[in-house]
Chains A and B, each alone.
Chain A
């Protein structure tokens, strides 16, 4: 059984660029959630995907978007990058209607915006 994996590990972009982060779910999991963890802060919920559709969103602007693929892997896309987007981006996979404590996090992608 493979865990949640994310790529790339680190990424440096400049303001105004676009970025795509990738997440592979734990085997058998069909729901993916994305979180942003800024320095010194706790993770903040961005959105969740289930059955390839967005299924809940936090307080993030539309330039944060996502995709979920038939194999349940997911992408997080951020357009028009801003300096404040610099953060650790975590994805977490789970089963739909599972318990909150059965959500498993990946190691994250560290995004730096210059």
Chain B
């Protein structure tokens, strides 16, 4: 039973436009949410995170939104750049759990076209 769902396997956007990646989770006990980016032949790299006590966190072109009532988070990238083309994973951590025992979604492949 998947606790973290990324329902869009892929997303294609034009350079300069907004990319919106979505993630749904099932357990309200998760208290920390992260987005990772993964290029081929590399490990995932941390992108941005948000605590359950917030509903928005912004870092440059990247913004993560958390809707706890809907158990939904999203990652906005604006403006999108070709170098953003990668697989994006959302990951969650249960409250009181190990900082490193994360549950990941299946990922969304983002392609940004020049």
Residue positions of A touching B, CB distance < 8 A: 4, 31, 33, 35, 40-45, 48, 55-56, 58, 90, 92, 94, 97-108
Q: Is the CB of B49 within 8 A of A100?
A: yes
In the assembled complex, 22 residue pairs joining A and B whose CB atoms fall closer than 8 Å, in A order, are A33-B100, A33-B101, A42-B4, A42-B89, A42-B91, A42-B104, A43-B89, A43-B102, A55-B98, A90-B43, A92-B43, A92-B100, A94-B100, A100-B49, A100-B93, A100-B99, A100-B100, A101-B49, A103-B46, A104-B43, A105-B43, A107-B42
CB < 8 Å neighbour of B107 from A42, A44, A104? A42
Q: How far, in whole Å, are A97 and B101 apart by their CA atoms in the complex?
A: 12
Q: Is the CB of A56 within 8 A of B44?
A: no
CB of B45 within 8 A of chain A?
Answer: yes
CB < 8 Å neighbour of B101 from A48, A99, A107? A48
Which B40-61 residues sit within 8 Å CB-CB of chain A? 41-46, 49
Q: How far, in whole Å, are A8 and B32 apart by their CA atoms in the complex?
A: 33
Majority secondary structure of chain B interface residues (helix, strand, loop or mixed): loop
Q: Is the CB of A101 within 8 A of B46?
A: yes
CB of B34 within 8 A of chain A?
Answer: yes
Q: Is the CB of A100 within 8 A of B89?
A: no
Residues of the B chain whose Cβ atoms lie less than 8 Å from the Cβ of A43: 44, 89, 102, 104
Residues of the A chain whose Cβ atoms lie less than 8 Å from the Cβ of B6: 42
CB < 8 Å neighbour of A45 from B103, B106, B107? B103
Q: How far, in whole Å, are A21 and B87 apart by their CA atoms in the complex?
A: 24
When C-beta atoms are compared, the residue in chain B nearest to A4 turns out to be B43
Q: Is the CB of A41 within 8 A of B46?
A: no
Q: Is the CB of B99 within 8 A of A98?
A: yes
When C-beta atoms are compared, the residue in chain B nearest to A98 turns out to be B99
Which B11-46 residues sit within 8 Å CB-CB of chain A? 32, 34, 41-46
Residues of the A chain whose Cβ atoms lie less than 8 Å from the Cβ of B100: 31, 33, 45, 48, 56, 92, 94, 100, 103
